[in-house]
């Protein structure tokens, strides 16, 4: 959080300086806006923190573009902007000690709470994969620790996260077990996970330790003990673990040629040109509105567009009613401004329409306090908001990035990533090596990244207009659900790898057949054709089953899960018999 605040301060200082200098020329400011819009669209894809920093930097650029300044004056204003960011960082540091570890414990509580929900779903027979997002969020939070936390406290937090990662794998393995075993074990596990979550959230002081000799129970007992120590403040004086690994599980990368960046650059440059031409005295508001409305997906752009237009109208009416009621009393006007600013802060994340009402009321009352006529302010704000919002929505329609066109290819990428993970796991079983764990971890991270992207794409597809030659949202969801069964087989085998280090060279024929069949399914899905299905996977499964002894029974059961998942995916994609293949 501190790094994000300082990055925003530096970015806003730099862009405010550039905006004030470029404002002397219409051509210069339009070109500079296009470059700033490109940066906003590119950097914003790196994640929520990067998106917030980029948007705040662009807002500073636009605001200062309304007031041309000489280099000395622009530098002075830029320094003041940076000073404001430093003050915000200091306030953040001051606020941290009052709630030491609360954010970290809250993130961990969410992890264990979501695992408890998944454990109950297992008892009901779910085929879904255990949750990833809470773990990724918690790892990010713990990688940015509270600066006044004690080393032992941080060590216990990291220990809890490691326990949660192991429990997640074990629950995934349990999801592939027979129904009787799931129904017998999962409810008790859910109860224990809920107890850990309650302790971390501060709802309970301690949790009862459940007996049990399994590896999963051992990690649950360890997590329960760690959570109780954090809640009670009885921590050992030594650091138990190494420092937390920075960064989330799923990382994004810069795409320098994305259509999102091109759309941001063109739309915002046009918005700045229109603002300078038709409303030079307040021209900043059109590109500012366009930047706030425009988003990488169809739904958010249009929802925010209509919310901002409607919220501006309502906010302007509310502000003028308040101004009429206070009758020019400065103290009452100032109180109204404070209330509006607080409402804007509180509603920014929960409801964008309410935020727009609050921020519009704030701006109108501030301008009225400075002596500007309220009716002029209302009309100007509404016209500029209509222009900026409409331009953002038109820009998306002209240069769209329809998720429905990417969903088929992303599903194929998901099958490929799961195939590579299965190959790494089965290869490690067939020929264990010191490098096996690193190979599996790399393949797992890639599979998580693609899975997260696919789920986002399908969710967006369901909210977009339907189109031809694209995979339907319902079918895409069925393929995704079938792939989850394959992912559970991966998770179950990976969870047992460390406990079963013996080599199984007889796995290689099955591993090769599975890799070939999944590669063919991914290619067929990507190319929108029927897949060739020759039965080699069933034959390899039967061959391994005839050689498997009692110790390989667990592995054999997981291989059947692979076959069932691949068969289900093949039926959804469509298959042609070997003799009919052209």
Whether pLDDT at 408 is above 80: yes
Task: List C-alpha distances in Å: 281 to 28, 77, 538.
Answer: 17, 19, 73
Q: Which residue has 């003050």 as its token pair?
A: 87
Which residues sit opposite 532 in a β-bridge? Answer: 576
Q: Could you report the per-residue pLDDT of 248-275, keeping only the tens digit for each?
A: 444 556 677 788 889 999 999 999 998 8
Between CA 310 and CA 331 the distance in angstroms is 29
Of the candidates 118, 223, 106, the one whose C-alpha atom is nearest the C-alpha of residue 163 is 223
pLDDT tens digit sequence for 519-563? 999 999 888 888 888 888 888 888 887 776 656 777 887 788 888
> Does 247 or 536 have the greater pLDDT score?
536
Strand partners, 531: 575
Q: What is the pLDDT of residues 163-188, one digit of tens each?
A: 888 788 788 878 877 788 888 888 88
Q: Write phi, then psi, for 25 (nearest 5 degrees).
A: -130, 135
Q: What is the model's pTM?
A: 0.66
Provide the pLDDT for residue 172.
81
- Scan for tokens 């899960």, then name that residue: 561
Cβ density class 400-431: b for 16+ within 10 Å, e for less = bbbbbbbbbbbbbbbbbbbbbbbbbbbbbbbe
Question: 118-142: per-residue pLDDT in tens?
Answer: 988 888 877 677 887 888 888 878 7
pLDDT score, position 419 = 92
Q: Which residues of 329-358 are buried (b: 16+ CB within 10 A; e: fewer)?
A: eeeebeebbeebbebbeebeeeebbbbbbb
């Amino acid at each position: 959080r501190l790094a994000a605040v300082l990055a925003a301060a530096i970015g806003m200082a730099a862009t405010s300086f550039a905006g004030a200098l470029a404002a002397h020329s219409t051509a210069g400011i339009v070109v500079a806006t296009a470059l700033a819009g490109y940066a906003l669209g590119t950097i914003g894809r790196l994640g929520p923190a990067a998106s917030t920093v980029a948007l705040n930097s662009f807002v500073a650029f636009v605001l200062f573009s309304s007031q041309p300044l000489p280099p000395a004056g622009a530098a002075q204003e830029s320094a003041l902007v940076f000073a404001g960011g430093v003050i915000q960082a200091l306030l953040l540091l001051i606020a941290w000690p009052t709630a030491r570890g609360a954010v970290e414990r809250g993130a961990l509580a969410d992890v264990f709470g979501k695992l408890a929900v998944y454990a109950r779903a297992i008892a009901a027979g779910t085929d879904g994969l255990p949750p990833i997002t809470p773990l990724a969020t918690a790892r990010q939070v713990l990688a940015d620790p509270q600066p006044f936390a004690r080393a032992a406290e941080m060590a216990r937090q990291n220990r809890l996260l490691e326990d949660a990662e192991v429990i997640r794998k074990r629950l995934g393995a349990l999801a592939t077990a027979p129904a009787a075993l799931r129904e017998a074990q999962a409810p008790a596990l859910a109860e224990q996970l809920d107890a850990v979550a309650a302790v971390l959230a501060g709802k309970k002081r301690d949790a009862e330790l459940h007996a049990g000799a399994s590896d999963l129970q051992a990690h649950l007992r360890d997590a329960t003990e760690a959570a109780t120590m954090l809640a009670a403040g009885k921590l050992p004086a030594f650091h138990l673990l190494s420092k937390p690994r920075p960064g989330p599980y799923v990382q994004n990368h810069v795409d320098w040629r994305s259509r999102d960046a091109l759309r941001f650059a063109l739309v915002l440059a046009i918005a700045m040109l229109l603002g300078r031409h038709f409303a030079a005295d307040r021209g900043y508001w059109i590109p500012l509105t366009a930047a706030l409305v425009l988003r990488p997906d169809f739904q958010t752009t249009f929802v925010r567009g209509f919310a901002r237009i409607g919220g501006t109208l309502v906010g302007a009416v509310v502000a003028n009613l308040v101004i009429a009621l206070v009758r020019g009393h400065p103290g009452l006007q100032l109180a109204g401004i404070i209330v509006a600013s607080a409402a804007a802060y509180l509603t920014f994340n929960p409801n964008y329409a309410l935020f727009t009402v609050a921020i519009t009321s704030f701006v109108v009352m501030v301008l009225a306090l400075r002596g500007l006529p309220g009716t002029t302010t209302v009309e100007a704000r509404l016209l500029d908001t209509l222009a900026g919002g409409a331009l953002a929505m038109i820009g998306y329609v002209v240069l769209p990035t329809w998720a429905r066109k990417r969903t088929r290819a992303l599903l194929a990428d998901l099958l490929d990533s799961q195939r590579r993970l299965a190959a790494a796991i089965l290869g490690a079983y067939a020929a264990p090596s010191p490098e096996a764990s690193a190979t599996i971890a790399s393949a797992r991270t890639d599979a998580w990244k693609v899975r997260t992207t696919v789920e986002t794409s399908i969710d967006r597809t369901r909210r977009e207009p339907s189109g031809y030659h694209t995979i339907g949202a319902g079918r895409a969801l069925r393929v995704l659900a079938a792939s989850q069964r394959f992912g559970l087989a991966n998770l179950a085998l990976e969870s047992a790898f460390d406990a079963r280090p013996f080599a199984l060279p007889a796995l290689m024929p099955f591993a090769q057949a599975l890799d070939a069949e999944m590669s063919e399914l991914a290619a067929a899905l990507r190319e929108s054709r029927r897949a060739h299905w020759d039965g080699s996977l069933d034959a390899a499964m039967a061959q391994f089953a005839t050689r498997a002894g009692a110790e390989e029974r667990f592995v054999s059961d997981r291989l059947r899960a692979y076959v069932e998942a691949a068969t289900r995916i093949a039926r959804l994609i469509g298959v042609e018999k070997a003799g009919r293949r052209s």
